[in-house]
Structure 1
Amino acid sequence: MNFALPTLAVFALLLPGFIARSRIKRIERQSLDYSPFGQIVSEALVWALALHLLWCGLAWLMTAYEPRPEVMLRLLGSDTARQAQSVEAIAAMAGPITAYLGSLLLFAYLMPTALRRLISHWRLDSHRSRLSPWLRFSGAPWYYLLTGADFPRGHAPDLIAVSAIVNIAGEAFLYTGLLSDYFLDPEGKLDRLVLREVMRRPLAADKPEHPGADGSPLLFTDRFYVVDGDYFVLRYSELITLNIEYIKLAEQAA
């Protein structure tokens, strides 16, 4: 019995499912997928079955080729003679089978990517959506926190303000600014934040209990000073605390 042929056939059948599963997920980890093996295989099987049913139906409608599952079943069996018959049948249809698998792999790559973008665009994965239990990207917590993706469509924040405490030479400083971008490490952990319009102050210079010398309360700019530069990078490993504020700008009356 030739074990290579059934293994290759199973791999070709399941490959679209694994591709579709990986493309529809929004995962911040870039190194390894530590999902349980049974979960990975079961999700890939469901995707592969759905894709093959769809593609077989389209192939039958558009090309009049009738699916022949018995060929694949004989190839997966233990009878060497039947395996040889299946190989001959597959060789006779090499062109259509190549077109079938090639187009299906391309579709398995592009369709989930487009579907994921539509889910994010229409906020179907936000925690307020009824479809959230099925469509939420559980492997991307920083995406929801740092993009405002949990807000309903049309109510997303215009700006995201970040305040962080950093220990510099034994003294705590408070940095605050507008989030411009963020980056993750290969393990999916937050690596650095890119801010603009940054200001800082020593944490000890908190809101004073008493007003200024002239009796007027101290202004925000009396305690903070502007950090020169277009962008300021904060490394997450150096932060003590992190505060996120979502800002929605008021619309001007016409």
Structure 2
Amino acid sequence: MEIALPAIIIFLLVSPGFIFRAQFKRAERETFDYSPFGRVVGQAFLWTVVLHILWLIITWWLLHSTIDIKILMRLLSSTHQESSFDAVSKDVIRIASYFLSLYLFCWAVPPLLRKSIIKYRLDRKDYWFSWLRMDAPWYYLLQGADLKKKPDVIAISAIVNVGDKPILYYGVLVDYIVDRHNGELNRLILSGAFRWELDKFDKANTTQDKMMISEPIDGNYLVISYDETITLNIKYLQETTDTDLTPDPGNADAQPD
């Protein structure tokens, strides 16, 4: 008991930070977290300190109660645990309320904070809240999350190797799928898609000529495998500023941040 009790207390004290971090962060790797161990622990302990300070202030404000450091130190030591445990048992309801409310906060509130950050685009590269950025490079690239205003249309031009023949596809990005294990882009889902044979496309001089030789693709959506994509071009369009929304596919490479 003398060995297990300090471990349990340390677990109760530090786990809110790990819960808060896990709920707050958004990563494209959903199965495994490949973040360096030191960074994970450092961030979790930082959140732990901030959360306990906040909760102690709230406890003092609402209940006019403060923590007894001596009792906590005795519980973490190998001596005087019995007397300290008796002191804790007399106030078990308030202690249980403290930890349960903290755990509930760490589980429920971080997703709401993350949604607010995404809604107001607070984690842009050029913003002073950039330290809130998520471990999701494809999200920033394919959603235009680094722009001050959300784009109305995201146009995709992709050269895909089809039977050893390069085909250029162009369409409006509807959604994308990321591999849950390694965070790599897996699929692009386009609507209103067109295709060109690349050699014919290169010979066309004007946008009108390019559209005349294009081949509309039947169906509501076109799914492109990123593994078969040679190059990828992404263009953000605003209906209020881009007066010409005529398809103008390119073939520039695009890679995540």
User: Following the alignment from structure 1 to structure 2, what is the Cα–Cα distance between the partners of residues 166 and 8?
Assistant: 55
Change (3 A) 1:164 1:23: same
Contact map agreement 2:117 2:123 (CA 8 A) in 1: yes
User: Following the alignment from structure 2 to structure 1, what is the Cα–Cα distance between the partners of residues 11 and 185?
Assistant: 35
Using structure 2 for the length normalisation, give the TM-score: 0.87
**What is the Cα deviation at residue 208 of structure 1?**
2.6
Contact map agreement 1:60 1:67 (CA 8 A) in 2: no
**What is the Cα deviation at residue 99 of structure 1?**
1.3
Change (3 A) 1:109 1:210: closer
Query: Does structure 1 residue 110 correspond to structure 2 residue 108?
Result: yes
Matching of residues 17-56 of structure 1 within 5 Å: 17-56=17-56
The percent identity for this pair of structures is 41
1:149 is matched with 145
What secondary structure is seen at the aligned counterpart in 1 of 2:17? helix
1:214 is matched with none
**What is the Cα deviation at residue 66 of structure 1?**
2.7
**What is the Cα deviation at residue 135 of structure 1?**
2.3
User: Following the alignment from structure 1 to structure 2, what is the Cα–Cα distance between the partners of residues 33 and 146?
Assistant: 22
> CA deviation digits over 1:170-207, x for unaligned, max 9?
21111111000111111211111111001111111124
Question: Which amino acid in structure 2 is aligned with residue 115 of structure 1?
Answer: L
What secondary structure is seen at the aligned counterpart in 2 of 1:205? helix
Matching of residues 116-131 of structure 1 within 5 Å: 116-131=114-129
Contact map agreement 2:20 2:106 (CA 8 A) in 1: yes
Change (3 A) 1:218 1:208: farther
**What is the Cα deviation at residue 32 of structure 1?**
1.8
> CA deviation digits over 1:110-138, x for unaligned, max 9?
33222222222222211121332x2222x
User: Following the alignment from structure 1 to structure 2, what is the Cα–Cα distance between the partners of residues 66 and 91?
Assistant: 16
> CA deviation digits over 1:50-83, x for unaligned, max 9?
111111121122123332232221111121xx11
User: Following the alignment from structure 1 to structure 2, what is the Cα–Cα distance between the partners of residues 91 and 39?
Assistant: 36
1:136 to 133, 136, 156: 133
Query: Does structure 1 residue 58 correspond to structure 2 residue 52?
Result: no
2:252 is matched with none
Paired residues, what number? 241
Change (3 A) 1:210 1:226: closer
Contact map agreement 2:201 2:210 (CA 8 A) in 1: no
Higher mean C-alpha deviation, range 55-64 or range 184-193: 55-64
1:178 to 172, 177, 183: 172
Query: Does structure 1 residue 203 correspond to structure 2 residue 198?
Result: yes
Structure 2 runs not aligned, ≥5 long: 243-257
**What is the Cα deviation at residue 247 of structure 1?**
1.0
Contact map agreement 1:197 1:230 (CA 8 A) in 2: yes
2:89 is matched with 91
Query: Does structure 1 residue 249 correspond to structure 2 residue 244?
Result: no
**What is the Cα deviation at residue 156 of structure 1?**
2.4
2:163 is matched with 169
User: Following the alignment from structure 2 to structure 1, what is the Cα–Cα distance between the partners of residues 205 and 21?
Assistant: 60
User: Following the alignment from structure 2 to structure 1, what is the Cα–Cα distance between the partners of residues 241 and 198?
Assistant: 34
What secondary structure is seen at the aligned counterpart in 2 of 1:111? helix
What secondary structure is seen at the aligned counterpart in 1 of 2:53? helix
1:229 is matched with 219
Contact map agreement 2:204 2:210 (CA 8 A) in 1: no
